[in-house]
Protein backbone atom coordinates (compact mmCIF):
# COMPACT_ATOMS: atom_id res chain seq x y z
CA UNK A 1 0.00 0.00 0.00
CA UNK A 2 2.24 2.78 -1.17
CA UNK A 3 -0.45 4.93 -2.71
CA UNK A 4 -3.46 6.56 -1.09
CA UNK A 5 -5.61 5.25 -3.95
CA UNK A 6 -4.95 1.68 -2.75
CA UNK A 7 -7.00 2.25 0.40
CA UNK A 8 -10.25 2.74 -1.51
CA UNK A 9 -10.99 6.00 0.25
CA UNK A 10 -13.94 8.00 -0.97
CA UNK A 11 -13.51 11.04 -3.18
CA UNK A 12 -13.96 13.53 -0.36
CA UNK A 13 -11.08 12.04 1.60
CA UNK A 14 -8.81 11.73 -1.41
CA UNK A 15 -9.39 15.38 -2.31
CA UNK A 16 -8.55 16.46 1.24
CA UNK A 17 -5.36 14.37 1.18
CA UNK A 18 -4.42 15.93 -2.13
CA UNK A 19 -4.98 19.44 -0.77
CA UNK A 20 -2.74 18.63 2.18
CA UNK A 21 -0.02 17.65 -0.26
CA UNK A 22 0.44 14.13 1.12
CA UNK A 23 1.90 12.14 -1.73
CA UNK A 24 2.46 8.72 -0.25
CA UNK A 25 1.21 7.18 2.98
CA UNK A 26 3.77 7.15 5.77
CA UNK A 27 4.97 3.85 7.18
CA UNK A 28 2.46 3.80 10.02
CA UNK A 29 -0.34 4.73 7.62
CA UNK A 30 0.60 1.93 5.25
CA UNK A 31 0.50 -0.55 8.09
CA UNK A 32 -2.40 0.73 10.17
CA UNK A 33 -5.01 1.94 7.66
CA UNK A 34 -5.91 -1.40 6.03
CA UNK A 35 -6.20 -3.11 9.43
CA UNK A 36 -8.26 -0.33 10.97
CA UNK A 37 -10.53 -0.23 7.94
CA UNK A 38 -11.06 -3.97 8.29
CA UNK A 39 -12.37 -3.28 11.80
CA UNK A 40 -9.48 -4.61 13.87
CA UNK A 41 -8.41 -3.20 17.21
CA UNK A 42 -4.99 -1.61 16.84
CA UNK A 43 -1.97 -1.29 19.06
CA UNK A 44 0.26 1.25 17.38
CA UNK A 45 3.75 2.24 18.40
CA UNK A 46 4.38 5.57 16.76
CA UNK A 47 5.67 8.92 17.81
CA UNK A 48 4.34 12.29 16.84
CA UNK A 49 5.73 13.10 13.45
CA UNK A 50 5.10 9.69 11.94
CA UNK A 51 1.69 10.60 10.50
CA UNK A 52 -0.15 8.60 13.18
CA UNK A 53 -3.05 11.03 13.39
CA UNK A 54 -4.10 10.43 9.80
CA UNK A 55 -3.37 6.71 10.32
CA UNK A 56 -6.27 6.38 12.75
CA UNK A 57 -8.36 9.29 11.54
CA UNK A 58 -8.77 8.30 7.91
CA UNK A 59 -10.35 4.92 8.76
CA UNK A 60 -12.61 6.73 11.25
CA UNK A 61 -13.75 9.13 8.55
CA UNK A 62 -14.51 6.22 6.22
CA UNK A 63 -16.53 4.63 8.99
CA UNK A 64 -18.48 7.70 10.15
CA UNK A 65 -18.97 8.84 6.53
CA UNK A 66 -21.39 11.74 7.03
CA UNK A 67 -23.15 13.76 9.73
CA UNK A 68 -25.69 11.70 11.61
CA UNK A 69 -27.66 12.26 14.82
CA UNK A 70 -26.26 14.39 17.63
CA UNK A 71 -24.08 12.05 19.69
CA UNK A 72 -20.41 11.42 18.88
CA UNK A 73 -19.64 8.13 17.17
CA UNK A 74 -15.87 8.42 17.46
CA UNK A 75 -13.87 9.63 20.46
CA UNK A 76 -10.18 10.46 20.47
CA UNK A 77 -8.53 10.94 23.84
CA UNK A 78 -5.33 12.95 24.08
CA UNK A 79 -3.24 13.75 27.16
CA UNK A 80 -2.73 17.46 26.52
CA UNK A 81 -4.66 20.38 25.23
CA UNK A 82 -1.94 21.02 22.63
CA UNK A 83 -2.22 17.55 21.17
CA UNK A 84 -6.04 17.70 21.28
CA UNK A 85 -6.02 20.97 19.35
CA UNK A 86 -3.54 19.57 16.86
CA UNK A 87 -5.75 16.55 16.27
CA UNK A 88 -8.75 18.87 15.86
CA UNK A 89 -6.85 20.82 13.21
CA UNK A 90 -6.02 17.61 11.35
CA UNK A 91 -9.70 16.63 11.41
CA UNK A 92 -10.71 20.05 10.07
CA UNK A 93 -8.39 19.54 7.11
CA UNK A 94 -9.33 15.95 6.47
CA UNK A 95 -13.10 16.51 6.67
CA UNK A 96 -13.25 19.66 4.61
CA UNK A 97 -15.15 17.99 1.76
CA UNK A 98 -17.57 16.19 4.08
CA UNK A 99 -20.35 17.39 6.37
CA UNK A 100 -18.85 15.59 9.38
CA UNK A 101 -18.90 17.66 12.57
CA UNK A 102 -16.28 17.56 15.29
CA UNK A 103 -15.22 19.50 18.32
CA UNK A 104 -12.30 19.57 20.72
CA UNK A 105 -12.75 19.77 24.50
CA UNK A 106 -9.99 20.30 27.03
CA UNK A 107 -9.40 21.76 30.46
CA UNK A 108 -8.29 25.29 31.19
CA UNK A 109 -10.78 26.82 28.80
CA UNK A 110 -14.42 27.90 29.21
CA UNK A 111 -16.55 24.78 29.54
CA UNK A 112 -19.69 26.65 28.50
CA UNK A 113 -18.70 27.02 24.85
CA UNK A 114 -17.54 23.42 24.68
CA UNK A 115 -20.92 22.26 25.98
CA UNK A 116 -22.66 24.47 23.43
CA UNK A 117 -20.66 22.86 20.64
CA UNK A 118 -21.58 19.39 21.87
CA UNK A 119 -25.26 20.32 22.07
CA UNK A 120 -25.24 21.33 18.43
CA UNK A 121 -24.47 17.73 17.55
CA UNK A 122 -21.14 16.16 16.63
CA UNK A 123 -19.86 13.05 14.93
CA UNK A 124 -16.28 13.06 16.21
CA UNK A 125 -15.09 14.26 19.59
CA UNK A 126 -11.49 14.98 20.60
CA UNK A 127 -10.98 15.34 24.34
CA UNK A 128 -8.58 15.38 27.22
CA UNK A 129 -9.79 12.82 29.80
CA UNK A 130 -10.50 15.18 32.71
CA UNK A 131 -12.67 17.59 30.77
CA UNK A 132 -14.45 14.73 29.03
CA UNK A 133 -15.56 13.17 32.31
CA UNK A 134 -16.45 16.57 33.71
CA UNK A 135 -18.85 17.26 30.85
CA UNK A 136 -20.15 13.70 30.96
CA UNK A 137 -21.01 13.94 34.66
CA UNK A 138 -22.84 17.20 33.99
CA UNK A 139 -25.00 15.06 31.70
CA UNK A 140 -24.12 17.13 28.70
CA UNK A 141 -22.60 14.29 26.70
CA UNK A 142 -24.15 11.02 25.56
CA UNK A 143 -21.63 8.34 24.71
CA UNK A 144 -23.95 5.44 23.91
CA UNK A 145 -23.45 5.77 20.15
CA UNK A 146 -19.67 5.47 20.33
CA UNK A 147 -18.30 3.04 17.76
CA UNK A 148 -14.62 3.92 17.85
CA UNK A 149 -12.30 4.91 20.68
CA UNK A 150 -8.71 6.08 20.22
CA UNK A 151 -6.18 6.62 22.98
CA UNK A 152 -3.49 8.83 21.52
CA UNK A 153 -0.14 9.11 23.30
CA UNK A 154 -1.33 6.53 25.77
CA UNK A 155 2.04 6.43 27.52
CA UNK A 156 1.87 10.13 28.29
CA UNK A 157 -1.72 9.73 29.36
CA UNK A 158 -0.60 7.18 31.94
CA UNK A 159 2.36 9.29 33.02
CA UNK A 160 0.01 12.18 33.63
CA UNK A 161 -2.17 10.08 35.87
CA UNK A 162 -5.24 9.84 33.64
CA UNK A 163 -5.85 6.14 34.25
CA UNK A 164 -8.75 6.61 36.69
CA UNK A 165 -10.65 8.76 34.19
CA UNK A 166 -9.98 6.28 31.41
CA UNK A 167 -11.19 3.38 33.56
CA UNK A 168 -14.33 5.39 34.38
CA UNK A 169 -14.90 5.99 30.73
CA UNK A 170 -14.53 2.33 29.80
CA UNK A 171 -17.32 1.53 32.26
CA UNK A 172 -19.81 3.80 30.58
CA UNK A 173 -19.24 3.41 26.86
CA UNK A 174 -20.65 0.62 24.68
CA UNK A 175 -18.68 -2.62 24.97
CA UNK A 176 -18.94 -3.30 21.28
CA UNK A 177 -16.62 -0.85 19.64
CA UNK A 178 -13.34 -0.57 17.78
CA UNK A 179 -10.34 0.51 19.85
CA UNK A 180 -7.04 1.94 18.83
CA UNK A 181 -4.19 2.70 21.17
CA UNK A 182 -1.20 4.71 20.07
CA UNK A 183 1.89 5.13 22.16
CA UNK A 184 5.40 6.41 21.49
CA UNK A 185 6.93 3.83 23.79
CA UNK A 186 6.00 0.34 24.92
CA UNK A 187 6.76 -0.02 28.61
CA UNK A 188 5.24 -2.84 30.65
CA UNK A 189 2.33 -0.73 31.89
CA UNK A 190 1.27 0.11 28.33
CA UNK A 191 1.26 -3.57 27.42
CA UNK A 192 -0.95 -4.16 30.46
CA UNK A 193 -3.29 -1.37 29.46
CA UNK A 194 -3.51 -2.73 25.94
CA UNK A 195 -4.55 -6.12 27.31
CA UNK A 196 -7.31 -4.46 29.27
CA UNK A 197 -8.45 -2.17 26.56
CA UNK A 198 -7.96 -3.95 23.22
CA UNK A 199 -9.50 -7.10 21.82
CA UNK A 200 -7.22 -9.28 19.72
CA UNK A 201 -5.28 -6.23 18.63
CA UNK A 202 -3.07 -6.07 15.59
CA UNK A 203 0.33 -4.56 16.32
CA UNK A 204 1.73 -1.88 14.06
CA UNK A 205 4.94 0.01 14.54
CA UNK A 206 6.27 3.08 12.73
CA UNK A 207 9.94 2.46 13.18
CA UNK A 208 12.11 1.38 16.05
CA UNK A 209 11.78 3.55 19.10
CA UNK A 210 14.05 6.56 19.15
CA UNK A 211 17.22 5.34 20.75
CA UNK A 212 19.15 8.50 20.23
CA UNK A 213 22.39 7.30 21.70
CA UNK A 214 22.90 4.30 19.49
CA UNK A 215 22.60 5.63 15.98
CA UNK A 216 23.29 9.31 16.23
CA UNK A 217 26.42 10.97 17.51
CA UNK A 218 25.64 14.18 19.35
CA UNK A 219 27.74 17.15 20.37
CA UNK A 220 27.18 20.55 21.89
CA UNK A 221 28.93 23.81 21.14
CA UNK A 222 28.55 26.42 23.83
CA UNK A 223 28.07 29.61 21.86
CA UNK A 224 27.62 32.96 23.58
CA UNK A 225 25.10 34.70 21.33
CA UNK A 226 23.07 34.72 18.14
CA UNK A 227 25.64 36.38 15.93
CA UNK A 228 28.32 33.92 16.95
CA UNK A 229 25.90 31.08 16.29
CA UNK A 230 25.48 32.25 12.72
CA UNK A 231 29.18 32.68 12.32
CA UNK A 232 29.79 29.16 13.57
CA UNK A 233 27.08 27.80 11.28
CA UNK A 234 28.64 29.54 8.32
CA UNK A 235 32.02 28.15 9.19
CA UNK A 236 30.73 24.58 9.49
CA UNK A 237 28.78 24.69 6.24
CA UNK A 238 31.88 25.71 4.34
CA UNK A 239 33.19 22.20 4.75
CA UNK A 240 31.02 20.83 1.97
CA UNK A 241 32.83 17.52 1.80
CA UNK A 242 31.70 16.69 5.34
CA UNK A 243 28.44 18.63 5.65
CA UNK A 244 26.81 17.04 2.64
CA UNK A 245 23.11 17.07 3.65
CA UNK A 246 22.29 19.29 6.58
CA UNK A 247 19.04 20.28 8.26
CA UNK A 248 19.37 23.44 10.34
CA UNK A 249 16.59 23.79 12.91
CA UNK A 250 15.45 27.10 14.30
CA UNK A 251 12.71 27.72 16.84
CA UNK A 252 10.85 30.46 14.99
CA UNK A 253 9.82 31.26 11.44
CA UNK A 254 11.47 34.66 11.64
CA UNK A 255 14.72 33.14 12.69
CA UNK A 256 14.44 30.51 9.90
CA UNK A 257 13.95 33.30 7.35
CA UNK A 258 16.84 35.36 8.67
CA UNK A 259 19.22 32.43 8.73
CA UNK A 260 18.11 31.48 5.24
CA UNK A 261 18.78 34.98 3.90
CA UNK A 262 22.19 35.14 5.49
CA UNK A 263 23.34 31.65 4.58
CA UNK A 264 22.08 31.82 1.00
CA UNK A 265 24.13 35.00 0.57
CA UNK A 266 27.18 33.24 1.92
CA UNK A 267 27.03 29.83 0.30
CA UNK A 268 24.82 30.63 -2.70
CA UNK A 269 21.07 30.55 -3.27
CA UNK A 270 21.35 27.32 -5.20
CA UNK A 271 22.54 25.48 -2.11
CA UNK A 272 19.93 26.19 0.50
CA UNK A 273 16.16 26.03 0.98
CA UNK A 274 13.85 27.01 3.82
CA UNK A 275 10.57 25.53 5.07
CA UNK A 276 8.25 26.77 7.78
CA UNK A 277 4.56 27.08 8.48
CA UNK A 278 4.15 30.42 6.70
CA UNK A 279 5.20 28.94 3.40
CA UNK A 280 2.34 27.51 1.41
CA UNK A 281 2.11 23.79 0.88
CA UNK A 282 3.54 23.92 -2.65
CA UNK A 283 6.55 25.96 -1.61
CA UNK A 284 7.22 23.50 1.19
CA UNK A 285 6.90 20.48 -1.08
CA UNK A 286 9.22 22.07 -3.63
CA UNK A 287 11.80 22.88 -0.99
CA UNK A 288 11.59 19.35 0.43
CA UNK A 289 11.84 17.74 -3.00
CA UNK A 290 14.83 19.87 -3.88
CA UNK A 291 16.55 18.93 -0.64
CA UNK A 292 15.68 15.28 -1.07
CA UNK A 293 16.44 14.80 -4.75
CA UNK A 294 18.61 17.60 -6.00
CA UNK A 295 21.99 18.78 -5.05
CA UNK A 296 20.79 21.08 -2.28
CA UNK A 297 22.98 20.49 0.75
CA UNK A 298 21.21 22.72 3.30
CA UNK A 299 17.63 22.93 4.51
CA UNK A 300 16.58 25.46 7.14
CA UNK A 301 13.45 24.36 8.99
CA UNK A 302 11.26 24.96 12.00
CA UNK A 303 9.99 22.03 14.07
CA UNK A 304 6.38 22.12 13.03
CA UNK A 305 6.91 21.50 9.35
CA UNK A 306 9.85 19.18 9.68
CA UNK A 307 7.76 16.48 11.30
CA UNK A 308 6.90 13.42 9.35
CA UNK A 309 9.44 14.27 6.73
CA UNK A 310 11.66 11.42 5.79
CA UNK A 311 14.86 12.23 4.01
CA UNK A 312 17.51 9.59 4.04
CA UNK A 313 21.21 10.36 4.07
CA UNK A 314 21.00 13.48 6.20
CA UNK A 315 24.60 13.87 7.34
CA UNK A 316 24.02 16.50 10.02
CA UNK A 317 21.28 18.05 12.05
CA UNK A 318 22.25 21.42 13.45
CA UNK A 319 20.11 22.89 16.20
CA UNK A 320 20.71 26.59 16.06
CA UNK A 321 18.78 26.81 19.30
CA UNK A 322 17.68 24.32 21.92
CA UNK A 323 14.06 23.25 21.51
CA UNK A 324 11.97 24.23 24.52
CA UNK A 325 9.57 21.39 23.86
CA UNK A 326 12.04 18.77 24.87
CA UNK A 327 10.83 15.84 22.84
CA UNK A 328 11.38 17.97 19.75
CA UNK A 329 15.07 17.37 20.33
CA UNK A 330 14.59 13.67 19.73
CA UNK A 331 12.43 14.39 16.67
CA UNK A 332 14.96 16.84 15.29
CA UNK A 333 18.02 14.67 15.67
CA UNK A 334 16.08 11.63 14.47
CA UNK A 335 16.27 13.18 11.01
CA UNK A 336 19.87 12.05 10.77
CA UNK A 337 21.49 8.67 11.30
CA UNK A 338 18.65 6.89 9.50
CA UNK A 339 18.77 3.34 8.23
CA UNK A 340 22.17 2.66 9.64
CA UNK A 341 23.80 5.75 8.14
CA UNK A 342 26.17 7.68 10.32
CA UNK A 343 24.75 10.96 11.49
CA UNK A 344 25.86 13.80 13.68
CA UNK A 345 23.59 16.11 15.63
CA UNK A 346 25.13 19.40 16.69
CA UNK A 347 23.41 21.74 19.12
CA UNK A 348 24.38 25.35 19.74
CA UNK A 349 23.72 26.31 23.34
CA UNK A 350 23.89 29.78 24.85
CA UNK A 351 23.93 30.60 28.53
CA UNK A 352 20.16 30.80 28.82
CA UNK A 353 19.70 27.47 27.07
CA UNK A 354 21.90 25.43 29.41
CA UNK A 355 18.83 24.81 31.57
CA UNK A 356 16.87 23.34 28.65
CA UNK A 357 19.66 21.16 27.33
CA UNK A 358 20.15 19.73 30.82
CA UNK A 359 16.45 18.79 30.89
CA UNK A 360 16.85 17.13 27.51
CA UNK A 361 19.90 15.23 28.73
CA UNK A 362 17.77 13.90 31.55
CA UNK A 363 15.14 12.69 29.08
CA UNK A 364 17.60 10.99 26.75
CA UNK A 365 19.54 9.71 29.75
CA UNK A 366 22.94 10.82 28.56
CA UNK A 367 25.28 13.76 28.78
CA UNK A 368 25.95 15.18 25.37
CA UNK A 369 29.66 15.85 24.95
CA UNK A 370 30.66 19.53 24.83
CA UNK A 371 33.14 20.41 22.14
CA UNK A 372 35.34 23.45 21.74
CA UNK A 373 34.24 25.70 18.93
CA UNK A 374 36.54 25.57 15.91
CA UNK A 375 39.28 28.16 16.31
CA UNK A 376 38.22 29.90 13.09
CA UNK A 377 34.82 30.86 14.45
CA UNK A 378 34.46 34.61 14.69
CA UNK A 379 33.33 35.52 18.17
CA UNK A 380 31.02 38.46 18.61
CA UNK A 381 30.26 40.23 21.82
CA UNK A 382 26.75 39.86 23.17
CA UNK A 383 24.46 42.77 22.40
CA UNK A 384 22.94 44.53 25.39
CA UNK A 385 19.39 43.57 24.55
CA UNK A 386 20.22 39.93 23.94
CA UNK A 387 22.11 39.77 27.22
CA UNK A 388 19.14 41.25 29.08
CA UNK A 389 16.78 38.76 27.47
CA UNK A 390 19.04 35.90 28.49
CA UNK A 391 19.31 37.13 32.06
CA UNK A 392 15.56 37.42 32.29
CA UNK A 393 15.15 33.93 30.91
CA UNK A 394 17.65 32.57 33.45
CA UNK A 395 15.68 34.29 36.20
CA UNK A 396 12.51 32.70 34.93
CA UNK A 397 14.17 29.29 34.99
CA UNK A 398 15.31 29.83 38.57
CA UNK A 399 11.81 30.79 39.57
CA UNK A 400 10.40 27.76 37.89
CA UNK A 401 12.69 25.50 39.87
CA UNK A 402 12.24 27.46 43.07
CA UNK A 403 9.07 29.58 43.30
CA UNK A 404 10.50 31.44 46.32
CA UNK A 405 13.41 32.74 44.23
CA UNK A 406 13.26 36.54 44.25
CA UNK A 407 14.98 37.05 40.96
CA UNK A 408 18.38 38.48 40.29
CA UNK A 409 17.49 40.30 37.13
CA UNK A 410 16.24 43.54 38.62
CA UNK A 411 19.51 43.88 40.48
CA UNK A 412 21.31 43.59 37.22
CA UNK A 413 19.25 46.11 35.34
CA UNK A 414 22.24 48.32 34.96
CA UNK A 415 24.49 45.66 33.63
CA UNK A 416 26.00 46.46 30.31
CA UNK A 417 28.06 44.37 28.03
CA UNK A 418 31.72 45.14 28.10
CA UNK A 419 33.10 46.54 24.95
CA UNK A 420 35.93 44.07 24.91
CA UNK A 421 35.54 41.06 22.65
CA UNK A 422 34.93 37.62 23.95
CA UNK A 423 38.24 35.94 23.56
CA UNK A 424 37.44 32.33 24.12
CA UNK A 425 34.44 30.09 23.50
CA UNK A 426 32.00 29.98 26.32
CA UNK A 427 33.21 27.24 28.59
CA UNK A 428 31.10 27.98 31.54
CA UNK A 429 28.75 30.65 32.58
CA UNK A 430 31.28 32.18 34.97
CA UNK A 431 33.61 33.08 32.21
CA UNK A 432 30.70 34.44 30.28
CA UNK A 433 29.71 36.65 33.15
CA UNK A 434 33.19 38.13 33.18
CA UNK A 435 32.36 39.85 29.94
CA UNK A 436 29.81 42.03 31.66
CA UNK A 437 30.39 44.80 34.11
CA UNK A 438 28.33 47.37 35.91
CA UNK A 439 27.53 50.66 34.30
CA UNK A 440 29.39 53.49 35.84
Among 7, 35, 45, 48, binds ligand AMP (CB under 6 A): 48
* Sequence-ordered strand ranges (E) for 328-430: 343-349, 370-371, 415-417
Residue placing its CB nearer to ligand AMP in the complex, 49 or 297:
49
Among 31, 52, 101, 356, binds ligand AMP (CB under 6 A): 52
Provide the minimum distance between the beta carbon of 334 and ligand AMP in the complex, in angstroms, as a whole number.
12
- Range 259-269 burial, b when 16+ CB lie within 10 A, else e: bbebbbeebee
Cα(138)–Cα(140) distance, rounded to whole angstroms?
Answer: 5
Residue placing its CB nearer to ligand AMP in the complex, 247 or 357:
247
Provide the minimum distance between the beta carbon of 48 and ligand AMP in the complex, in angstroms, as a whole number.
5
Q: Which residues pair with 246 in a beta bridge?
A: 298, 316
Determine contact, residues 268/296, Cβ cutoff 8 Å: no
Closest CA to 125 of 143, 144, 110: 143
Among 7, 9, 12, 25, binds ligand AMP (CB under 6 A): 25
Q: Which residues pair with 42 in a beta bridge?
A: 180, 202
Is 54 near ligand AMP (CB under 6 A)? yes
* Sequence-ordered strand ranges (E) for 267-342: 272-275, 298-302, 316-319
Q: Using CA atoms of 152, 158, 164, 169 in order, give the dihedral in degrees to the nearest 10.
A: 10
Is 297 near ligand AMP (CB under 6 A)? no
Residue placing its CB nearer to ligand AMP in the complex, 26 or 435:
26
Residue of closest CB approach to ligand AMP: 308
Is 49 near ligand AMP (CB under 6 A)? yes
Stretch that binds ligand AMP, among 18-26, 138-146, 248-256, 260-268 (CB under 6 A): 18-26
**Contact set for ligand AMP, span 134-193 (CB under 6 A):** none
Is 307 near ligand AMP (CB under 6 A)? yes
Stretch that binds ligand AMP, among 46-54, 112-120, 217-225, 333-341 (CB under 6 A): 46-54
Is 50 near ligand AMP (CB under 6 A)? yes
Stretch that binds ligand AMP, among 47-55, 179-187, 245-253, 271-279 (CB under 6 A): 47-55
- Please give the C-alpha separations between residue 190 and each of 182, 265, 326, 395, 409, in angstroms, as whole numbers: 10, 50, 22, 38, 44
Determine contact, residues 39/29, Cβ cutoff 8 Å: no
Is 308 near ligand AMP (CB under 6 A)? yes
Q: Using CA atoms of 52, 57, 58, 63 in order, give the dihedral in degrees to the nearest 10.
A: 150
Provide the minimum distance between the beta carbon of 86 and ligand AMP in the complex, in angstroms, as a whole number.
7
Stretch that binds ligand AMP, among 19-27, 141-149, 169-177, 258-266 (CB under 6 A): 19-27
By CB under 6 A, name the binding residues for ligand AMP: 22, 25-26, 29, 48-54, 307-308
Amino acid sequence: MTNFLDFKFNKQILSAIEDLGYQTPTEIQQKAIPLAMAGHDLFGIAQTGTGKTAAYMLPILMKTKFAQGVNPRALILAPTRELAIQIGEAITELTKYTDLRHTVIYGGSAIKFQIEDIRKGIDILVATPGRLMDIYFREELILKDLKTLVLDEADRMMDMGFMPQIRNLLEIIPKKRQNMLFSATMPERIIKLSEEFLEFPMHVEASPQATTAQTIAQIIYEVPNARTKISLLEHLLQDEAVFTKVIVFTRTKTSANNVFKYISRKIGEDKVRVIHANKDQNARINAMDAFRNENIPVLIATDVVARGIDVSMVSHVINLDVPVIYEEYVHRIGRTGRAGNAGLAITFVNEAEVYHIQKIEKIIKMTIPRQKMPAETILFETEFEEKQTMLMEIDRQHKKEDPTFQGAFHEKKNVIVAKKRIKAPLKNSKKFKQTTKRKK
